[in-house]
Amino acid sequence: MCTRVVYIGPEQTVLTGRTMDFSIDIPANLWIFPKGMERNGQVGSNSLRWVSRYGSIVASSWDIAAPDGMNEKGLVANMLWLVQSEYPSFEKDSAEAGLTISAWAQYVLDNFATVAEAVEVLRKEEFAIVTDFIPGTEKFTTVHLSISDASGDSAILEYVKGKLVIHHDTSYQVMTNDPLFQDQLAIKGYWDTFPGTVFLPGSNRAPDRFVRASYYIKAIPQTSDQRLSVASVFSVIRNVSVPYGISTEGQPHISSTRWRVVADQKHLVYFFENVLTPNVVWVDLKQVDWSESSPVRKLKLDGGEVHAGHALHGFVESEPFLFKGL
């Protein structure tokens, strides 16, 4: 479920696009979080605690998680499903610090300005990622995390057999779901021998989406024009989207696309598109007051509300949602 691409163009042009694909409806709202927020890992007495260094805009899921967002420095975090994820064991009342998986991306957005900074800290594994079932479902949350920054650097973080594995390189521009990222790279290596203009795999399967996205993200125009670059990245993620109403029993990584995001990390503009409301909304992060004294604000979208264009004026002061934990 989901595809993520990073576009690296001329004159420091960098954009990250993603689809959110899910087998059930996954209502999203947009939230603006200022810097200076006190956070809690939501897993018991030894929850990780921190104060946000940077403000961010995020797309929520059910207002219990933040699977996508960009902070004021242009760092983007995207969570995608990965069935093969295996997290370390965690005891709620142990001495080990823990962080609910629903706030994994938010932790990164709150604390780091670049991928290199994030990787340096996260590779130390000073806390455990703690997962659980999505409320009201039988879906046990298994995701991996991609991060990209305004320089075009990327990292993919996966938990494999209880251990954190980090793939860190600017060349890692595309990520989908299963298989593990190292196997995705092997599949791409095979398909690189075929001319993309002659044949590309066309199914909704994650490996096929990976191949198509890898080809198209480099085939689209190389430009520093903001409108053209944004439109081009949207064209790629729409191409790898899954048609509405499509899902495959037993294969959660083949599910309908619910919403899409393109984050312009050079110009600091976050674009959001819900497939049920055919309008793109965006927020220019340069116009946001990120100071500690500014309020949390929300753009309500999960009830079919219609917005279009620059939507900062539509955000209203709100109590922050509580990240789902144990």
pLDDT by 10s per residue, the chain, length 326: 799 999 999 999 999 999 999 988 899 999 999 999 999 999 998 999 999 999 999 999 999 999 999 999 999 999 999 999 999 999 887 789 999 999 999 999 999 999 999 999 999 999 999 999 999 998 999 999 999 999 999 999 999 999 999 999 999 999 998 889 998 888 877 677 666 666 788 888 888 899 999 999 999 999 999 999 999 999 999 999 988 887 666 665 568 999 999 999 999 999 999 999 878 999 999 999 999 999 999 999 999 899 999 999 999 999 999 999 98
Which candidate, 18, 12, 315, 9, places its Cα nearest to that of 156? Answer: 18
Phi–psi pair at 187, nearest 5 degrees: -65, -45
The single residue of 2, 130, 206, 299 carrying the catalytic annotation is 2
Report which of 1, 9, 292, 14 is spatially closest to residue 147, judged by C-alpha positions: 14
| Predicted pLDDT of residue 326 | 85
pLDDT of residue 79: 97
- Check: CB of residue 176 under 8 Å from CB of residue 206: yes
Pairwise CA distance, residues 7 & 28, whole Å: 24
Class of residue 316 by CB neighbours under 10 A (exposed 0-12, middle 13-18, buried 19+): exposed
User: Side chain identity at 313, as an amino acid letter?
Assistant: H
CA distance 238 to 138: 29
CA distance 160 to 182: 11
For residue 289, what are the β-bridge partners? Answer: none
Q: Are 83 and 306 in contact (CB under 8 A)?
A: no
In whole angstroms, give the CA distance from residue 103 to residue 55. 15
In the chain, what are the domain boundaries? 3-317
The whole-model pTM stands at 0.94
Q: Which of 177, 181, 153 has the alpha carbon at shortest distance from 166?
A: 181
Residue 282 tokens read as 């965006």
CATH T-level fold of 3-317: Penicillin V Acylase; Chain A (3.60.60)
What confidence score (pLDDT) does residue 198 get? 64
What was the pLDDT predicted at 250?
63
pLDDT of residue 13: 98
**DSSP one-letter code for 288:** S
| Residue 232 designated active-site | no
